[in-house]
Structure 1
Amino acid sequence: MSRIDFLTFLMLPTFLGLLAWYFGVELAPEVFSVSISVFSIFSALLFSAQVAMYGVFRSDRKATGDAILEADAQQEAQDARELLREVNANVSYLIFVSCLAVTTFLIFFAAPIPCQIEAGLLIAIYCHFLLTVAMVLKRAHEIFDSEYAKPLRFNKHDDPRA
């Protein structure tokens, strides 16, 4: 993990949350019930995305019969696999953050906690979550873009005109 990642993904949300706390930002009570819904939906969608990524990982690689092309394809597959492992770790982390956020917002909804603390934590959690989602989207885009950029190869027996 680089320093810039640490500052961006942990310190920036913490800083924004502390600013909200310092300036006494207050939120409407319905913010927590909406947040519970948002993070519950996101956790289900993220789990579905994880399953879809596994499908990409399991996709068959066709042998071409050309040693050079197969070596290139093998390196591309290894690069995609490493990127998929990173995205999987990030998605798993986001699912955990979603569950943690739902639990936190349920507590805020039910317990009398000072509004400034609630607002600061809510802003920090949302900011951290959105930054991490942006990183996952960037990595997922790289994976899918590399898959879409590959030329289509058909075997003669797959071609209905043959």
Structure 2
Amino acid sequence: MGDTLPSIAISSFSIFSAMLFASQVAAFSVFNYKISEIKPKNNPDDIVRKTREMNFSVRSEELRGAFRRINAGISVLTLISIFIVAATLGVVAEPPPEMSRVLTAAVCLFATHFFMSFIITCHQVFLFFDTAYAGESV
């Protein structure tokens, strides 16, 4: 690795992991807002109330499942970012040549895995919002 590449990798993945954590917090608040938004209002008619409660429970479970998948993807991305920073720091610390090759390979492997996980998570988020904008159930 060159001189500037490790510092760029450390900076970018450190910032990216903080942004991922912030997005998890934001997703949690959106999830709580969405659940409270679809909560049924009290209705004196017993049949209408029961139907709304059933629809609420089904819809909230669908939302919960979608947000769990997105949250799992973001968690994986955050962990991979931390591993990349740790492995890059190991390379920068100038370990023995054999260890340096292993750490460089680990950085490449983690970076590849990160970008593949990023694509999958972006696709899940796209499907979630596309379905929500279409007005269908998630």
Note the 1:81-120 alignment, pairs <5 A: 81-114=64-97, 116-120=101-105
Structure 1 or 2: larger helix share? 2
Matched length: 125
Q: Separation in 2 of the partners of 1:119 and 1:104?
A: 8
Unaligned runs of 5+ in 2: none
1:49 is matched with which residue?
23
**Which letter does structure 1 place at the counterpart of 2:115?**
L
For the aligned residue pairs, the C-alpha RMSD in angstroms reads 2.5
User: 1:49, CA displacement in angstroms?
Assistant: 1.1
Find the aligned partners of 2:72 and 2:40 in 1 and give their Cα distance: 30
Cα distance, 1:42 vs structure 2: 0.9
> Once the two structures are aligned, what percentage of the paired residues are identical?
29
Task: Compare 64-73 and 35-44 and name the one that shifted more.
Answer: 64-73
Instruction: Provide the rounded CA distance (Å) in 2 between the counterparts of 1:48 and 1:62.
Output: 26
List aligned pairs for 1:22-33, cutoff 5 A.
27-33=1-7
Letter in 1 for 2:73: N
- Higher relative contact order (CA closer than 8 Å, sequence separation 6+): 1
Match of residue 12 from structure 2: 38
Gaps in structure 1 of 5+ consecutive residues:
1-26, 152-162
C-alpha separation in 1, matches of 2:11 and 2:94: 18
| TM-score for both structures, normalised by structure 2 | 0.74
**By how many angstroms is 1:74 displaced?**
4.1
TM-score, normalising length from structure 1? 0.64
Kept in 2, the 8 Å contact 1:90–1:132? The answer is yes
CA contact 1:80–1:143 (8 Å) conserved in 2: no
Q: Provide the secondary structure at the position in 1 that maps to 2:20.
A: helix
Deviation at 1:105, TM superposition (A): 0.7
**Contact (CA 8 Å) 1:46, 1:91: kept in 2 or not?**
yes
